[in-house]
A = this chain, B = another copy of it.
Amino acid sequence: MMIKNVLGRVLPEEINGLKTIPYQGVGKYIPRGRKAAPPIASCANYPSDGNKVVSSLREALEKCGLRDGMTLSAHHHFRNGDKLMNMLFDTAAEMGVRDLMFYPSATFPCHEHLIRHLDAGVIHHIEGSLNGPLGAYCSAGKMRGLGVLRSHGGRYTALQDGEVHVNIAVIAAPTADPFGNATGSRGPSACGLLGFALGDSQYADKVIVVTDNLEPFPCAPFQIHGNLVDWVVVVDEIGDPSKIVSGTTELTKSPDRLYIAELTARFIEAAGIMRDGFSMQAGAGGTNLAFAIFLRDLMREAGVKARFIRGGSTKYLVEMLEEGLTDFILDGQTFDTVAVESIRNHPNRHVTTSPFTSYNYHSKGNFASIVDVAVLGATEVDIQFNANVATHSDGILQHGLGGWPNCLAAKCTILALPSFRDRIPVLVDEVTTVCGPGELIDVIVTERGIAINPRRQDLLDATKDAHLPVRPIQEIQAEVERICGGKPEPPQYGENFVAAIKWVDGTVMDALRELR
């Protein structure tokens, strides 16, 4: 009962009761049908004074009719400082509810607490990124359903397309009003955006906003519309501010990583991408932050101004905005306190976006493909330029997909990464888990040189006189294997599938088995 997709990856025929649609290539699978249609509500059934506050999360869940087998969702804008997801399932456990499906936009190490609820049967399975302890739990074959990993855009798409039907969405809100209007830009737990909760607010049957900072109507400007919210709950603390935004964002100090960052910036300049009005996106890892700083310096020198920078926003991007090096930040996720303030201070130029605007592939276009250059990381890349971000070569689920698969749509996608980690090669014959197809990955920048995808003759031509260390990927791979003493050991898998990796269009790109 297994099938193979166009990449040769073996997949289960069904995933959590739904027939698998195998990955067919970029842009090949075209959906049919109509968007999910939430129930029609009536103002007659809601308090006319707009006050939807109830006394506890339990009361709200009861009013929403929580029962066995339902799907609950939550967002991850509080990152490792989130307190709501654990609170939610503690409450569900108290209520004696079982077999819930959980559909978070991501989980963090602080959600290890959920393992007890998986063990006890309160949670049946989780469809969402499974980082750290939850990933290890899933990889060990302990979860009853399959873990389904989706990109940020793919998660929105699954809601929109009705592939995942959320019964009750629970939205942690740094500031809200009694009507349910909510924002992430203010309050003790300010996290910047709430874009990851947008799809949940639009498509869930019932929506609960939980806040520790209630203010009088209107909480304006609002990121979540109270008109979509059923109930509002006030709690003492929805998050640990020190872990929600870091206050400072750490740059890498590793000479190798700094070199990778510099090479990446120089490549972008040499390839002619860094021109007036260009656009870019860079992640928030230490290497990517350093890259942004190198590029900023090159932009200053050349007198070049970007039209927009997509974030993950940080103080470095805010500095570029304030210095006039970019017209706009289009923010998808806010990584430090300076960026949170910038959303408040520059509402016309530091613009909040969402997985809908930026990444939803089942849409009339999205922002991701308009970006000139995206600089991303990966855990592994193979000589077909396929890349992995979910596992390392040990096959253990460890990282979520995030916006990574969506960002591959950029006009030029660069993976900036070390060629090996802990003496294990990152450049491999075939990635352990495919998360993104080689046809969308244009350039690999490592400390041992730059590999350009042979499909991009234009980039090879543009950079041939630039005195950059451009080399065939196989040559870098061979060098790395010499240093590391060979290829990585493949994982030892059992029989059962434990997780699936969805491509941005909802098709299945890869499936993971339990580890022996």
- Chain A residues at the B interface, C-beta cutoff of 8 Å: 27-28, 30-50, 52, 160-161, 179-180, 207, 216-218, 220-221, 225-230, 277, 307-308, 328, 330, 344, 347-349, 351, 356-357, 360-367, 369-370, 409, 411, 505
Contacts and interface: CB of A to CB of B under 8 A. Distances in A.
9 contacts: A41-B363, A46-B364, A49-B369, A52-B364, A207-B364, A216-B307, A218-B307, A228-B363, A347-B348
Contacts of A49: 369-370, 411
A362 B34 contact: no
A366 B227 CA distance: 6
B41 A27 contact: no
B356 A47 contact: no
A218 B50 contact: no
> How many monomers of this protein are in the complex?
2
B42 A362 contact: yes
A122 to B, nearest CB: 27
Nearest to A372: B49
Q: Which of A220, A357, A367 has the most CB of B within 10 A?
A: A220
Given A37-B35, A40-B160, A217 B307 contact: yes
A27 to B, nearest CB: 4
A24 to B, nearest CB: 11
A39 B30 contact: no
A40 B157 CA distance: 10
Contacts of A48: 365, 369, 409
A52 to B, nearest CB: 7
A46 B160 contact: no
A74 to B, nearest CB: 19
Nearest to A308: B218
Contacts of A220: 308, 328, 330, 348-349, 351
B347 A277 contact: no
B505 A364 contact: no
Contacts of A505: 42, 44
Contacts of A39: 33-35
Contact of A221 (B161, B344, B348, B361): B348
Contacts of A27: 42-44
Contact of A40 (B32, B50, B308, B369): B32
Contact of A34 (B40, B217, B225, B347): B40
A230 B363 CA distance: 10
Given A34-B39, A35-B38, A40-B32, A218 B365 contact: no
Nearest to A185: B348
B179 A370 contact: yes
Instruction: Report the 6 A-B pairs with minimum CB-CB distance, sorted nearest first.
Output: A27-B44, A34-B37, A46-B365, A50-B370, A347-B347, A37-B37
A47 to B, nearest CB: 7
A365 B216 contact: no
Given A38-B35, A307-B216, A221 B347 contact: yes
A230 B365 CA distance: 9
A177 B493 CA distance: 50
B356 A50 contact: no
B221 A365 contact: no
Contacts of A37: 34-37
B357 A227 contact: yes
B32 A227 contact: no
